Amino acid sequence: MMKSSITTLVLFILLATSSGIVQSADIPISKFGGVPNSDITQALANAWNEACQSATASKIMIPSGQYRMKAVAVKGPCKAPIELYVDGTIIAPPNPKDLNNEWQWVKFEYVDFLTISGSGVFDGQGATAWKLNDCGKNPNCARLSMNFGFNFVKHSVVGSITSKDSKNFNVNVLGCQNFTFDGFKISNPGNSINTDGIHMGRSTDVKILNTNIATGDDCISIGDGSVQTTISNVKCGPGHGISVGSLGKFTTELPVQDLMVKQVTFTNTDNGLRIKTWPSAPGTSPITGLTYQDITMINVKNPIIIDQEYCPWNQCSKQSPSKIKISNVTFKNIRGTSGTQEGVSLICSSGVPCEGVVLSDVDLTFNGSPATAVCRNAKPMIQGKSPQCTAPKA
């Protein structure tokens, strides 16, 4: 599955046409006045419109140099595959108001067979906005833009470009199918509030491969309706780890199932592998079929954590247990160092206790001694060198 974006694009073209490989038509951004040190907002929109109307594959080219760009939304369906090749640095306005309250700075919608390639950087200039990013505490918070939005995109690849200093989440993936990140990079400092690396929901067969993520929140957050997700060969840190959830706030949520996380390294993160659901909330859609294996933890505060009493900033009550059933979750070959004594914390719902949890060869140390495991409403199967569960302290 780990094909390069170019190989994948060629495959897409073969599938999409009936007469072999079709050479893509180059569309330089300069054709529409997009030159270095200029604003390319309209130039990119014009180049996309030409590519989208082309009956043969097109390649929009943004060469090296610095470019300014306001919010851009490009849409399909298009007539043929499109590659957006970026070698330059594209810079967002530093003032959030200059993005006209758009939820995403660069947005792709209803597109099939899209490839984004090159070594370019999308710089969201988020430093001036992070102090405004207090939505967890302030219900009237300012609406800040994410760097990328991929909405209802299918059979597509995002390659080795970089998302830098997003004002909000770096990437949101919604309603996508057969969507791959391969060689992608995310670069935000650890103090950048609410800047999740990649958030996904309502999507099937999303793959995150060979990707480095540094951010101030979850490196990857997996929302409701995420099915057949693969995360492999990923480096996370700084950040809050890889999270399923938080889930349970809404009755309209869909199940999360069939997640594979393997060959991931967490370095100096707040969490490693986390599942979180809200107590005293109406949602009931289950979480099932999760496998985490071949994971390295380097000074991770909470390497393995199931938290079904998730309630940050006292936003909720814990009077009634979470209604979300968590089942068939395997943690296998998890090794490294924990930043706390409790390397494993499985705090499940008293209403629907966790079932089918396996700890297999979980070998974590804290200050040179074996880390411990605490469990409530969970009776994991212990295999190999893994800690035995004890009850958490009152």
**Residues forming the active site:** 240
Q: Is 31 helix (H, G, I), strand (E, B) or coil?
A: helix
- Cis bond before residue 77 (omega within 30° of 0): yes
What does the alpha-carbon distance between residue 21 and residue 15 come to, in Å, rounded to a whole number?
A: 9
Pairing between β-strand 287-300 and β-strand 256-267 as defined by DSSP bridges:
parallel
Biggest CA–CA distance in the chain, Å, is: 69
- Cis bond before residue 238 (omega within 30° of 0): yes
The neighbouring-strand residues paired with 213 are 186, 236
The neighbouring-strand residues paired with 342 are 372
Q: What is the DSSP letter of 52?
A: H
Determine contact, residues 158/181, Cβ cutoff 8 Å: yes
What does the alpha-carbon distance between residue 215 and residue 364 come to, in Å, rounded to a whole number?
A: 24
What does the alpha-carbon distance between residue 70 and residue 41 come to, in Å, rounded to a whole number?
A: 6
Q: How many contiguous H segments (helices) and E segments (strands) does the chain have?
A: 2, 31
Is the Cα torsion angle 134, 136, 142, 145 positive or negative in sign? positive
